[in-house]
Amino acid sequence: MTGVDRADEQSSPALSPEASSRFLKGVELIRAGEYFAAHEELELAWRDAPQPERDFFQGLVHVAVAWYQAGRGRRIGTVRQLEKAIRRLTPYAPAHRGLDLDALLEQLRRALQVAQSDRLEHAVRIDLDAVELVEEQQ
């Protein structure tokens, strides 16, 4: 799969082939803006992940759900999901499983500021920039 660097996999617990496949598919779905489908794939990866990886996968689930909620105009749900994503992904920074989490966390924090802003209080739709899962820089 393009966009996910495997260089840091040696330090990560092994995933089952199914969990690995679901992770890669979930990342691609997030990149494609298919947030509900991404959430489904990543949730299945999360359930099958070893314990040290579960917060990482749950954090990615929260990313997908945050953008899904934003697309439906649900400000409070968006804020809550972004806060959870930041909390769960921060311990894995700067990078994990080929994803540049520092860059993602910066984007999540900016999105949280947008979602919390007063100007969105009565918005019909919350428009957040498409989420970018950036490959880790070598």
Residue 102 within any structural domain of the chain: yes
4: pLDDT strictly greater than 50: no
Where in the sequence is the domain holding 56, given as residue range(s)?
16-120
* pLDDT value, residue 9: 40
Residue 138 within any structural domain of the chain: no
Residue 85 within any structural domain of the chain: yes
CA–CA dist 130, 122 (Å, integer) = 21
| 64-107: pLDDT as tens digits | 999 999 888 888 999 999 999 999 999 999 999 999 999 999 99
Provide the number of structural domains found in the chain. 1
Residue 47 within any structural domain of the chain: yes
pTM to 2 decimal places: 0.82
117: pLDDT strictly greater than 90: no
The CATH number of residue 24's host domain is: 1.10.3450.10
Give the pLDDT band (50/70/90) at residue 125. very low
Give the pLDDT band (50/70/90) at residue 114. confident
